[in-house]
Structure 1
């Protein structure tokens, strides 16, 4: 099934609150569907209360991009997610993953244990299981998973509504597309593109990541890259949806106005 395009914006609070609120309203006015927060303790306010505030400013959907499973007990993440679904009247999407590279150092600085990869996936499973219990039969909080390895992919095909394929360093676009095909063959999942670089710009929430060098991503035809020319970006997104079904595009807030013509041309189509 070909899904219509929708677009999300990761919008951390990196300015004063008045400027951030203005940016949230602008993102809604430009036609984006979802506003999201990263999960980086100490860098910006906590995602849950920030998203609750954002949901009062516009009718945008809101979500985490993405909760890191080691930072919270599964019951706590599930409770926060279900609470946001209630408070936003069904406009919340739970994005969850195993955490950024280097998260072990941050966990150690907080006196927290660093779970193994399989343990982190077990945390995600328990989180979603508890969330479904809290939601009950009449509510469904959409779950987005960021996946890389085969165990994560298997878990996503079982539990997730939306999946974004994390490209490992050195991985080609064709390899990532093959993973996307595998996921969609297992179940009719929504596939998301996590675009961390537009033109020569890097999204603020990804600026410290080594795999976000614009020249390298452009050269490798990475799924994490889009040109800053709207016409070229439109063509590329349409070809990627045709190639492997990606229809949900997530960018950084700094690119919201640059990509606005793309949103106007493709959203809902």
Structure 2
């Protein structure tokens, strides 16, 4: 089994000073990676991640995730390779096809939203461009794989796959996703990742608005987007997910940076 590592998903929407402090604090707490979302209503991940890397020494930075409708494949690869260069190899390129809301944002940029196949083709081309630009370097690529075609592409070209399902997806559904990815990987080693939206028994209002369900519903359905209980309970749950699903790279919403830190301290590298 792969050793655990942990990331935190946060945005630089509250200004540079707060963002720099978030980066320093994530590194101090032992997180592996600071991950930045992609949205026209937030600072661009390229600027945010370069800033975070500049004020830290070990912390990796990553996009979570570059939405394919918001850039051409070549432009996305240009940004990715640039970040790999200026961070001395501490950048991880997360890619995804984007939420339906990205249609309006793509139109604002004068870019086509495209259908599902076209957006996946753009992701595939982005990876190819990055590999060419990198030369002897290697930018790790993480793919958010929500459907069968995305999982096949991830198995063929990604280094990391973050399991993508609705907040009420079952363990069996996630296990089937992992099996499907492994079956197409032809022996390639792929790191399996999962994002946690909620730590504890309370869902902040903005997260509830995003995922569309409350804490009671998440608990009733044994949702894997929530982690609760004592530190011992939560550590045991993460170890179960690694044993059953192969999940070793766990990211958490930035609202729970401090609450999740005891797990980072306990499990990182184990």
Q: Which residue does 2:173 correspond to in 1?
A: 175
**Match for residue 80 of structure 1?**
79
- How does the TM-score come out when normalised to structure 1? 0.92
Question: Which of these residues, 32, 46, 56, is aligned with residue 58 of structure 1?
Answer: 56
Using the TM superposition, give the Cα deviation of residue 201 of structure 1 relative to its aligned residue in structure 2, in angstroms. 4.5
Residues 143, 219 of structure 1: alpha-carbon distance in 2 compared, 3 angstrom cutoff? same
Question: Residue 35 of structure 2 aligns to a residue in which SS?
Answer: strand
* Alignment deviations for residues 107-136 of structure 1 (CA, whole Å, 9 cap, x no partner): 334443221000000000000001101011
Change in CA separation of 1:145 and 1:185 when aligned onto 2, cut-off 3 Å: same
Tell me by how many angstroms 1:12 deviates.
0.5
Q: Which residue of 2 aligns with 1:265?
A: 266
| 1:221–1:230 distance in 2 versus 1, CA, 3 Å | same
User: What is the alpha-carbon distance in structure 2 between the residues aligned to residue 203 and residue 31 of structure 1?
Assistant: 24
* Offset from partner CA, 1:164-202 (integer Å, 9 cap, x none): 111136532211122113223443210001111222455
Q: Secondary structure of the equivalent of 2:39?
A: coil
Shift in Å, 1:23: 1.9
Alpha-carbon distance, 1:214 to partner:
2.7
Give unmatched runs, 5+ long, in structure 1.
none
CA distance in 1 between counterparts of 2:232 and 2:133 reads: 44
| Contact 1:12 1:205 (8 Å CA) reproduced | no
Report the count of equivalent residues: 266
Alignment of 1:204-223 (within 5 A): 208-211=209-212, 213-223=214-224
Match of 1:23 in 2: 22
Which contiguous aligned blocks of 4+ residues in structure 1 show a shift greater than 6 angstroms? none
Is 1:135 the counterpart of 2:134? The answer is yes
TM-score by length of 2: 0.92
Q: Is the 8 A contact 2:19 2:52 kept in 1?
A: no
- 1:205 Cα deviation after fit: 8.2
- For the aligned residue pairs, the C-alpha RMSD in angstroms reads 1.9
